[in-house]
Chains A and B, each alone.
Chain A
Amino acid sequence: MNKETVIVLDFGGQYNQLIARRVRECNVYCEILPYTVELEKIKALNPKGIIFTGGPNSVYDENSLHYTPEIFELGVPILGICYGCQLMAYSLGGNVVSATDDAVSEYGKTVTDYNPDNILFKNIPSQGISWMSHRDYINEVPEGFTVSAATAHCPVAAMADPGRRLYGVQFHPEVNHTENGKDMLRFSSTPR
């Protein structure tokens, strides 16, 4: 069957199946593939988009889970979530650092300012609660990207390069605690 497919590239995050279900709820078919999948296989699936999941690693650790930067040259839109966003920044020349004190680590509901110029945020209020769960943060975005959301402690809560159709969010849009999540994503709640 020739169907629109989005790939959820799994870096070991705890919400991976949730991301996939949210995508399906938007009536878009998606498959979860491990970060070890070959680029050729991704190309063969001819995806409409790719989502990088979160994960427990730090991008600069030697043993952390990476993917070949060639994926960014496919011309396929990519959304990086949490670790996936940091990996995108790191792979394309931005800078990711570890919070040296607890002030920058964020866990839980966090007030976030969104820039409506980012197409992802065009239909939501410019301020809202997002669900954060991270220790590392991006302090410098790669060339071509602009910062499009921030919190009191996190300078880059979202970044975008519309030209290359690359987007990243530090928070977790798939989790219901991200405010307006239901409306934003038009979640259909399952009965019972």
Chain B
Amino acid sequence: MLRAFLYDVCECKGEWKMDSFIDTTVEQIRAQVGDKGVVLGLSGGVDSSVAAALISKAIGKQLTCVFVDQGLMRKDEGDFVENTFTKLFDMNFVRINCQDEFLSKLKGVSDPEDKRKIIGTEFYNVFWNKIRESYGSGFFAQGTIYPDRIESGKGDAAKIKTHHNQVGVPEDIKFEDIIEPLKDLFKDEVRAVGEKLGLPHDLVWRQPFPGPGLGVRVIGEVTAERVRILQEADAILRDEMDKCGYADKMSQFFAVLPGVKTVGVMGDARTYSELVAIRAVTTDDFMTADWAKIPYDILGKVSNRIINEVTHVNRVVYDITSKPPGTVEWE
């Protein structure tokens, strides 16, 4: 019906295809940038990764991607992002490793809102200090996508959304312009572009990941040791889900370190160690979500491996709360 309306009534030809989008956008970026530099903040998420790949295709080494690794990503994820962009794409790639700085700021902090605030502020400072120091001219690029900027017809017309461009860039840094090559695309279109540009499947289909990273999955105080425990447990979960083919059936799954210690017995000796929780959900839109009905034998295997392979963990539980009333993340 819609198709009939578009083709037979409106006489559209149907030229909106991702191949032609890539070609046109590459030309546009070249024309706009000339021989100047472009700097992009790469988070390792889908949107900024696809934007990076697209701009790289257009201007190669004129693009610099700055990747702040605060040490709160999943196991080996920082290396995966670095390898992807240095090996598969032509660009300057700058990785800032700053786990120690982040952890020292988080020392003794356990309130979730305080943690979020600290991680956000620290990220902002590290990123923009680097930009100010080395890349404070030319163009700034970001992976804004269409749903980020649609004005709703519902609200009060007078209340126009602050343009996201203005948000974030410190006033003393003057770029020529902001480049947002994905600003007209929906998420599924962004993924299609990413696949066409040769980004790895795991990156294109990456699950939603909170801005503060594992900082909000390590409940309570965030320490290097507790981040390591969570990363190991989460990696085992991902490995098993990949092996049994369930990974692609879940919308999102991850491990949480609730900060609860329980008593156990391992090798005839009493233990008193961390508890790991497994969270897995299925959803169409993330507005509502159902806990995933993972078969017991798979859960059993995950539990067994985590307790055996991750030191300082002696118990694993599975979260069977839907959203609502729960949320997908724990804090």
Contacts and interface: CB of A to CB of B under 8 A. Distances in A.
A119 B2 CA distance: 11
B296 interface: no
Q: What is the size category of the interface that chain A forms with chain B? A: 35 or more
B8 interface: yes
Contacts of A79: 2, 5, 9
Nearest to B8: A119
B24 interface: yes
Contacts of A121: 1, 4
A24 B189 contact: yes
Nearest to B24: A1
- By secondary structure, the B interface counts as loop
A29 B16 CA distance: 6
A22 interface: yes
A77 interface: yes
Contact of A28 (B6, B24, B152, B154): B6
Nearest to A33: B151
A12 B10 contact: no
Contacts of A53: 153
Contacts of B5: 49, 51, 77, 79, 120, 167
A21 B154 CA distance: 19
Contacts, number: 114
B15 to A, nearest CB: 6
Contacts of B205: 192
A39 interface: no
A26 B184 CA distance: 16
A51 B2 CA distance: 10
Interface of B: 1-17, 24, 28, 147, 150-154, 157, 184, 186, 188-189, 191, 205, 248
29 contacts: A4-B12, A6-B6, A6-B10, A6-B12, A12-B152, A12-B153, A17-B147, A21-B186, A24-B189, A26-B2, A26-B3, A27-B17, A28-B6, A29-B16, A34-B152, A35-B153, A48-B10, A49-B5, A49-B6, A51-B5, A65-B153, A79-B2, A119-B4, A120-B1, A165-B9, A173-B1, A178-B1, A184-B2, A184-B4
Interface of A: 1, 3-4, 6, 9-12, 16-17, 19-24, 26-29, 31-36, 48-49, 51, 53, 55, 65, 77, 79, 119-124, 165, 167, 169, 173-174, 178, 184-186, 190, 192
